[in-house]
């Protein structure tokens, strides 16, 4: 039997799908390294056990699959009925037996992958609405899921960090940090300037820089870890002092 392959042929989308699938595999390996009796231990997210993180990642795959179905059928199918519903299903998922929780996560990721694989080429530009209310082409769901699986693999608290991320992912996350900070920025917020020591370029939220800017130095991976709120390791001010917390991201 001939193997099924993605309908989409756009090279950028195919590359994005590859990175998302690599992230899913990395997540699955991290989860597989945990014994059932270790799932109750704290994650790196305040107030959440590892069980909560696993449930969130599983239900997130289902939610994103609903957006892909929306793009394919033209029938509105939101990620969540409400913010309350999202929280309730995570809390419920965290109470499942270990096998059921693992199966939820695995089966949901397979379902999402099939939805992506079978989405016709013409439908990848169809517009859907995220849980935050943003209208985006359904192709953006690939990046949404990429962030989830790679970053929440860190949150399982097994020792994975942003220095384990592929360089390409680190660069994409640097761009994403700037994009989100620009979108959320108010006139009273400080400008943020990033100086990765292992990159040739610097990054700034605003085009014009000033003396009150929040300026940080560190490797690109460490700056990403700081920017996504997971660690302040290796990130300093120009004076060599430990950097303050990054602005809120997602």
User: 41-62 pLDDT, tens per residue?
Assistant: 999 999 999 999 999 999 999 9
Structural tokens at position 206 = 């605003």
What would the CATH number be for the domain defined by 11-160?
Answer: 1.20.120.450
At 214-244, the pLDDT tens digits run 999 999 999 999 999 999 999 999 999 999 9
pLDDT of residue 81: 87
Q: Which CATH number fits domain 162-250: 3.90.550.10, 3.30.429.10, 3.90.1150.170, 3.30.1050.20?
A: 3.30.1050.20
174 versus 84: the higher-pLDDT residue is: 174
- In this structure, the strands spanning 192-196 and 127-129 are unpaired
235 Cβ contact partners less than 8 Å away, ≥ 6 residues apart: 216, 217, 218, 222, 223, 225, 226, 242, 243
pLDDT of residue 206: 93
CA–CA separation, 186 and 189 (whole Å):
5
CA–CA separation, 116 and 18 (whole Å):
12
At 176-213, the pLDDT tens digits run 999 999 999 988 899 999 999 999 999 999 988 888 99
Total residues found in the chain within this entry: 250
CA–CA separation, 66 and 70 (whole Å):
6
Buried b (16+ CB within 10 A) or exposed e, 191-219: bbbbbbeebeeebebbeeeeeeebbbbbb
Domain ranges of the chain: 11-160, 162-250
């Amino acid at each position: 039997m001939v193997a099924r392959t993605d309908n989409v042929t756009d090279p950028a989308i195919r590359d994005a799908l590859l990175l998302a699938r690599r992230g899913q595999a990395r997540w699955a390996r991290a989860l597989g390294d945990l014994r059932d009796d270790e799932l109750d231990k704290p994650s790196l997210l305040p107030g959440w056990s590892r069980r909560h993180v696993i449930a969130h990642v599983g239900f997130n795959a289902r939610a994103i699959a609903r957006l892909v179905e929306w793009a394919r059928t033209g029938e509105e199918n939101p990620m969540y009925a409400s913010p309350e519903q999202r929280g309730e299903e995570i809390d419920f998922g965290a109470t499942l037996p270990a096998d059921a929780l693992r199966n939820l996560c695995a089966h949901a990721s397979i379902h999402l992958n099939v939805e992506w694989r079978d989405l016709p080429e013409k439908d990848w530009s169809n517009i859907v609405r995220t849980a935050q209310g943003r209208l985006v082409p359904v192709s953006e769901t690939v990046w949404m899921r990429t962030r989830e699986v790679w970053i929440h693999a860190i949150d399982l608290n097994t020792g994975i960090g942003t220095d384990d991320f592929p360089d390409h992912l680190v660069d994409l996350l640097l761009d994403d940090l700037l994009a989100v900070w620009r979108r959320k920025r108010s006139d009273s917020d400080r400008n943020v300037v990033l100086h990765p020591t292992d990159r040739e370029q610097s990054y700034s939220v605003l085009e014009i820089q000033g003396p009150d800017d929040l300026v940080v130095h560190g490797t690109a991976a460490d700056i990403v870890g700081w920017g996504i709120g997971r660690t302040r390791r290796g990130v300093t001010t120009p004076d060599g002092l430990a950097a303050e917390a990054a602005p809120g991201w997602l």
